[in-house]
Amino acid sequence: MKVDVRTLDGKKMTDAAATHAVGSALRIAPGFIASAVDDVSGVETTLRANYLAAEGRYFVSEVNNRAVRADVEINNIALRQVAVQQILQAATPHCITITLDENDDPSATWIPLSQLTTVEGKVIPPWMAEQVTRRGSSDERMDVIELLYGAAALSGQPPVKAIQLELGVPHRTASDWVKKARAAGRLDGMSYIVGRQADG
């Protein structure tokens, strides 16, 4: 899904907007505005989301829809096709930044998580997923678990399932890695409650 992500004041989302630290190595934007056009329904959806620390994720606080073609009417049928959760999920990696430098280094270079993505529907590139699943790569593995957990939890998706699908590992393995990352303090500020229903 192609999504346009902007800061809460309408500027293009950049790494500089990610000012809030979560986990051990991530920074996120405190909120964002995201827009996407569904070519089939002819509806553009724009949502506004803010990070709520108490919930450990982004909350959608506003949704606006408009027709992009003259033959489209915004009615209950059109609104059933609005994909709020998918837009939130596609926008979140643009709002999460990482650095390969020391986190507390004022000259550290921060890049959006979305720049790692090379394959549609994946958060990290295949080479990184392959490296993480090898034995003995615990530090690198925890870095990636933090990234994947953050991308999923912050957008209201089940993180263990996301890790399982992204890395091609069994549920039990993904769950174990999440427990280890949480125990190491890598998931502070991000959470997912089992059974929580995603908006949209």
Task: Answer yes or no: is pLDDT of 131 > 90.
Answer: no
The residues near 92 (Cβ < 8 Å, ≥ 6 apart) are: 58, 151, 154, 155
pTM tops 0.85, yes or no: no
Write the DSSP symbol of residue 57.
E
Judge whether 6 and 15 are in contact, CB under 8 Å: no
Instruction: Give me the residue spans of the domains in the chain.
Output: 1-200
What is the chain's Cα-based Rg? 17
User: Tokens for 97?
Assistant: 């930044």
Per-residue pLDDT tens over the stretch 88-111 = 999 999 999 987 666 677 777 888
User: pLDDT tens digits for 46-92?
Assistant: 999 999 998 889 999 999 999 999 999 999 888 888 889 999 999 99
Could you give the C-alpha distances from 42 to 50, 84, 144, 166, in angstroms and in order? 27, 15, 37, 31
Host H or E run for residue 62: strand 57-67
